[in-house]
């Protein structure tokens, strides 16, 4: 699962924005995120609290940050990437005094819990032959970390030779066996719940390729524990290219 959480960061640079008298652009040390701040709010080297994109802010916190009713989503509390005066803004920052002194060395998990911030997840939606519901608590999501958060690692790889290949669009799924023996077919971040009288493509493939049987055999060897067959690789016959009509 890609990292998500409220963090304490250090301001790297603060730059003026052309024709903007009240706002300026700031960046974080060791990361490639940039965001809009009030003019004079931060200087290079200042520590700050960073609320990343897709943060859902509780109403009292949004009020304290001065963004109540100004964010995205039905409740106007979702942090999204926005463009202001031609500049991309990726998240919200606040001064360090927002965090109690005794909590400042605790880490992202404690900060996130303290502020009551949650990660936005797409709502349940209806697709052909199924309903999508959130994954069970504790189930990992197949995801890829953004290079913006790992600048030093990306720079270390720049001098290495690479092989340029073509990426074919496609889809993957996984099969989850709960401790009670129930089987669920999942896409990247949701359980695919069948609709009566219909069958979703991933359910068809999961049974046709016997991945469900394999997952059950793994679960049988680990009684009382949740088991999950990982996403289907492109080389596997069960892989479903996005452009097929299967």
pLDDT digits (tens, 9 = 90+) for 21-57: 899 999 999 888 899 999 999 999 999 999 999 999 9
CA–CA separation, 70 and 92 (whole Å): 12
Q: Where exactly are the structural domains of the chain?
A: 7-119, 125-140+168-241
The answer to whether the CB of 21 falls within 8 A of the CB of 39 is yes
Our CA angle for 191, 171, 133, nearest 5°, is 15
**Over residues 55-83, mean pLDDT:** 94
Structure tokens at 106: 């605790």
**Over residues 5-22, mean pLDDT:** 93
Q: What is the DSSP string of 125-175?
A: EEETTEEEEEPPTT--------GGG-HHHHHHHTTS-----PPPPEE--EE
Q: What is the pLDDT of residue 229?
A: 52
Q: What is the pLDDT of residue 218?
A: 84
Q: What is the DSSP string of 74-105?
A: TTT-B---EEETTEEE-SEEEEGGGS-GGGTT
In DSSP terms, 88 is beta-bridged to: 83
Q: What is the pLDDT of residue 225?
A: 59
CATH dotted code for 7-119: 2.40.50
pLDDT surpassing 70 at residue 246: no
Instruction: Name the phi and psi angles at 88, rounded to 5.
Output: -80, 135
**Over residues 65-92, mean pLDDT:** 92
| pTM greater than the 0.75 cutoff | no
Burial of 60 (0-12, 13-18, 19+ CB in 10 A): exposed
**Over residues 165-192, mean pLDDT:** 82
């Amino acid at each position: 699962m890609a990292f998500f959480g409220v963090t304490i960061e250090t301001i790297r640079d603060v730059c003026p924005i052309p024709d903007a008298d009240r706002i300026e652009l700031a960046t974080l040390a060791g990361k490639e995120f940039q965001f809009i701040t009030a003019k004079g709010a931060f200087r290079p080297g200042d520590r700050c609290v960073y609320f990343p994109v897709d943060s859902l802010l509780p109403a009292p916190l949004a009020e304290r940050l001065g963004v109540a009713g100004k964010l995205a989503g039905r409740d106007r509390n979702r942090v999204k990437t926005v463009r202001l005066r031609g500049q991309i803004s990726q998240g919200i920052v606040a001064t360090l005094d927002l965090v109690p002194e005794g909590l400042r060395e605790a880490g992202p998990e404690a900060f996130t819990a303290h502020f009551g911030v949650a990660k936005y997840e797409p709502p349940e939606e209806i697709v052909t032959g199924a309903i999508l519901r959130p994954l069970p608590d504790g189930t990992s999501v197949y995801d890829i970390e953004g290079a913006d958060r790992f600048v030093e690692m990306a720079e270390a790889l720049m001098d290495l030779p690479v092989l340029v290949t073509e990426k074919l669009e496609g889809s993957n799924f996984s099969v989850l066996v709960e401790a009670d023996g129930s089987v669920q077919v999942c896409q990247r971040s949701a359980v695919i719940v069948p609709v009566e009288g219909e069958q979703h493509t991933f359910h068809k493939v999961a049974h046709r390729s016997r991945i469900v049987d394999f997952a059950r055999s793994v679960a049988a060897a680990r009684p009382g524990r949740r088991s999950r067959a990982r996403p289907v690789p492109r080389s596997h016959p069960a892989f479903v290219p996005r452009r097929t009509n299967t």
